Structure 1
Amino acid sequence: MRNRYGKTLIASVLLSSLTVVGLESVAVAEPDRNADSVLQRVNSAAPSTAPSSDETALTLSPVADTVVGDSTENTTAIPSDPANEIELSSTAGGEASLKLTLPDLNLEDASVDSGATGAVFASDTVDVSVQAFEEGARIATTIYSASAPETFSYPVSVPAGGDVESTSDGMVVVTDSAGDPVGYFAIPWARDADGRTLQTNFLVDGDTVKQTVNHRVAGVSYPVVADPYLGKNLIKSTAWSWIPRNSTGSIGAGYTLRVTATDWAWKNSSQGYAGYSYTVGTYGWKELYKKRKNGGLNVNLDTMRDQFICHQEYALSYYGKKRPTWNLDEWRKDRSYWWTVRYACNPPAGGKWRY
């Protein structure tokens, strides 16, 4: 690999989504392209609704020929050679890792510096930076001129029998052979140097996720920053509790599963995209069921599924803020998803249970 710029700092990466940054084209002074400046530019460009936009990137530590960002939930390993795979794995173990390779842009190697908060890989017209966060990773592409490409390809190592799926909402999900989620590409964003939003989208081509950033448009001010964010888990932890019946019968005796959602899940709650948060909820339920299906009485799962998806879709709208847990009650009436939504995710107790 080339090393035209010499030593490049590596910063923390949380692989929860890839980020490509694009800034509009205007005749301005050559932007500073040292690693710290690139990362600061990416952080400033990220919309407040983007995953990890309100977090500080993790500090990276060198391990062999990689730098690693460790959190309580995930480990992100970033190679110094951009031709090698980035890997996002769960610290709990027992789950498939999410692995991908950066776009083939003739990028230079990134050197590993302990204490950095991101890795920056440079080419003539583009910088690609990787940052690790508590629950994912951001891979941002900073585009410096109209001569840069508009399509950036990320080959994904898919588990045997698994798949890469795009949703109608613009998200991409990597699944294993059972159809359970391994990781996610959040809906991408792109902004120019003036903060103007540019059109960007994902296209799945086999096992490759291609991001198109339409930066060759009138009035664009460069550099442009575009972001796909890579997320791993929607569920942080769970705990079962026995709930006794109250005197009025509005609460029925049974088990409640208290679900602590990740910040990544909260970022995907109550989004304005039509159906997007619902789609995230369906994958979150798969993750939850795979991890906790043998707890409680393992009954009345249809209403528990409806309650979970309802929380994923509407929790921020209902509560106006994050809550410690999403409580899924086995004893609540099972009728329909929209019945559950009508009662703010907590339909009345009783009724027929579907086993």
Structure 2
Amino acid sequence: MEAAGQDDAAPVLPDSETTEIISSSVEEGSVEVSRDGEEAEAVLDGGSDGIELTLGLPTPEYAEDAEVQDDGTAIYMDPEGIVDVGVQTLDDGSVRVLTVINDEIAPGRYDYQIDVEDGVVLELTPEGAVALKGADGSSQGMILPAWAEDAAGNPVETHYEMAGNTVTQIVDHNAPGVVYPVVADPKVYYAWWQLFKWSEWRWSSAYRSNQLSMQLSAWGRHDVIFAAGQFVSSGWNLLKQKHPSWIFTSSMRQQWECHVLGGIAEWGTFDLEINRPSLPNWRKRIGMRPLSATCNW
């Protein structure tokens, strides 16, 4: 079972399986998927820097109990072959639900009942995501904008609606030209550390410098596009929590701002070199140099 293609995050294998629960973990997060096909749900726990939520899954009424594929995907098969549902814990810590629509007679609405801890609220954003926010308005997680694709790789119209804590994905699959199966894959982030797929301190032979290198997750990329002003501070503060304070220089902060605000949102890596000289007026470089050189002075 393959995703519709939101990004290249890969599923991980479960840590353990019982007759009732399939358990997986990535860094500080853990995911427990119930075996029960008729009352399917996943419990997501982001650890000390995250929240806990229960995600009700849109399995058919008589779905079979979940079985784990070789790649780690837990799948609830529909005995009638109309709608199958898979759950993946991904290597960036997020969880992806794969709703596989096999036939034109399948429903066009799929409900996700989301139970969150006290103080966390769900908010449908203008760009079609579902933000998970704390009582103080702080970002605690996100369900990325709805995504669906048919078997030929063509996008299928889809969006979310909300009623209380039920998020419904509308998939307009019964349309001319749609090739089945259609895959719809909501992706859920539930911990602040999941803004980055990874970050590490390493040596760059190209620049002969130590550098902090990182790759944004799909959530991080979403925030760069739609909330760059917030992400400049939130992403930087998260990096400072995860790495020794002595490595952060004024130049590294400038490089970070340049990557985030300067339109250089590479989907590869951000590299912040510790010994690159300070350049407070880096903004003047935007539009005057190739994109690859703007933040490397």
Q: Same fold (TM over 0.5)?
A: yes
CA RMSD in angstroms comes to 4.1
TM-score, normalised with respect to structure 1: 0.61
- After superposition, what is the alpha-carbon deviation per residue over 1:163-190, rounded to whole angstroms, capped at 9, x for unaligned? 2122222222212223232222222322
Match of 1:234 in 2: 195
Residue 43 (structure 2) pairs with residue 87 (structure 1)? yes
Which residue, out of 234, 253, 263, partners 1:286?
Answer: 234
Which residue, out of 269, 272, 275, partners 1:323?
Answer: 269
Distance 1:197 1:114 in 2: 26
Secondary structure of 2:7 counterpart: coil
Match of 2:119 in 1: 161
The answer to whether the Cα contact below 8 Å between 1:308 and 1:326 also exists between their aligned partners in 2 is no
**1:179-218 correspondence runs (5 A):** 179-218=137-176
- After superposition, what is the alpha-carbon deviation per residue over 1:78-125, rounded to whole angstroms, capped at 9, x for unaligned? 1112525313333x6342134311126315242455966211113332
Name the larger-Rg structure. 1
**What's the CA shift for 1:139?**
0.6
- After superposition, what is the alpha-carbon deviation per residue over 1:220-253, rounded to whole angstroms, capped at 9, x for unaligned? 22221112122341134477xxxxxxxxxxxxxx
Match of 1:130 in 2: 87
Match of 2:60 in 1: 105
Distance 2:89 2:33 in 1: 9
TM-score, normalised with respect to structure 2: 0.71
Distance 1:264 1:73 in 2: 18
Which residue, out of 96, 104, 114, partners 1:146?
Answer: 104
**1:6-155 correspondence runs (5 A):** 39=1, 42-43=2-3, 46-47=4-5, 50-52=6-8, 55=10, 57-60=11-14, 61-63=16-18, 65-72=20-27, 74-82=29-37, 83=39, 85-90=41-46, 93-103=48-58, 105-112=60-67, 117-123=72-78, 124=80, 125-135=82-92, 136-155=94-113
Match of 2:261 in 1: 310
Q: Calculate percent identity across the aligned residue pairs.
A: 20
The answer to whether the Cα contact below 8 Å between 1:97 and 1:182 also exists between their aligned partners in 2 is no
- After superposition, what is the alpha-carbon deviation per residue over 1:253-287, rounded to whole angstroms, capped at 9, x for unaligned? xxxx9463444357x37xxxxxx742254357436
Tell me which of the two structures has the higher relative contact order, counting C-alpha pairs closer than 8 angstroms and 6 or more residues apart.
Answer: 1
Structure 1 residue ranges without an equivalent (≥5): 1-38, 240-256, 270-275, 349-355
- After superposition, what is the alpha-carbon deviation per residue over 1:268-322, rounded to whole angstroms, capped at 9, x for unaligned? 37xxxxxx742254357436536747957999xx9798546327x5232xxxx62
